[in-house]
Amino acid sequence: MNIIEKIKHQIEKNPIIIYMKGSPKFPNCGFSAQAVKALSACGERFAYVDILLNHDIRTELPKYANWPTFPQLWIDGKLIGGCDIITEMYQKGELQKLIIETANKYRNLKENANKLNN
């Protein structure tokens, strides 16, 4: 799997994913800290990738996303944006709504799949 395929796979398999510097518990830049604070306040689980430990992703994701900076928040396969957009959406209540809707959508899909398999 090449790096672009790996990025696509991460985004497809994780309905809410943030590419950031550091981790949610130990962000390594102020922008990542601010973004993850807003995201965490929404109360749903999310995945993250520490781009400082993943040099290939750090190099290739900006080209793939056509977005030059980090953090990058992806929800339901779509790039939402970086710190400023995340913060603005949170302040307007838009981020919470989007996060909750997405989390519920994937919970329902998983529950329905489990019912079909039983």
Binding residues, by number, are 21, 29, 58, 70, 83-84
Distance of alpha carbon 22 from the chain centroid: 14
Question: Please, are residues 33 and 41 in contact by the beta-carbon 8 Å criterion?
Answer: no
CA atoms of 62 and 70, how far apart (whole Å): 8
Maximum CA extent, the chain: 46
Return binding residues for glutathione.
Answer: 21, 58, 70, 83-84
CA atoms of 20 and 8, how far apart (whole Å): 16
Residue 94, both tokens = 């838009």
Question: Please, are residues 55 and 49 in contact by the beta-carbon 8 Å criterion?
Answer: no
